Amino acid sequence: MQDFPYTYRWDRQDRKGQPCRILARGKMNSCLVEFPDGYRMVTSRNAIGKAVDFASGSTLREAEGAAGALV
């Protein structure tokens, strides 16, 4: 499984396009996210999207599943 399966989509605190992971989900559509450099922030879950493998156009989770099916 990938360590940072999501991408931060909003341009807040110069984090747009960076990989992240969700540590906790809260009320009112909020979540605590962590970036690879250890920085954490609370943001809207609307700002989070699944990471995409641009070579195949699929999400990384789908690509991992397809790779596992070939073995």
Amino acid 2: pLDDT: 65
Q: Any long-range contacts for 15-24 (C-beta under 8 Å, 24+ apart)?
A: 15/39, 15/41, 19/51, 20/48, 22/48
Question: What residues make up the domain containing 56?
Answer: 6-70
Please write the tens of the pLDDT for every residue from 33-71: 999 999 999 999 999 999 876 666 666 555 555 555 544
Q: How many residues in the chain? A: 71
- Please check whether residue 66 lies inside any domain of the structure: yes
Task: Indicate which CATH number applies to the domain containing 32.
Answer: 2.30.30
Amino acid 65: pLDDT: 55
23: number of Cβ within 10 Å: 11
- Please check whether residue 1 lies inside any domain of the structure: no
Query: Taking the model in full, what pTM does it have?
Result: 0.72
Amino acid 67: pLDDT: 53
Q: Classify the C-alpha dihedral 48-53-54-59 as positive or negative.
A: negative
Count the domains in the chain. 1
Residue 13 near residue 57 (C-beta atoms within 8 A): no
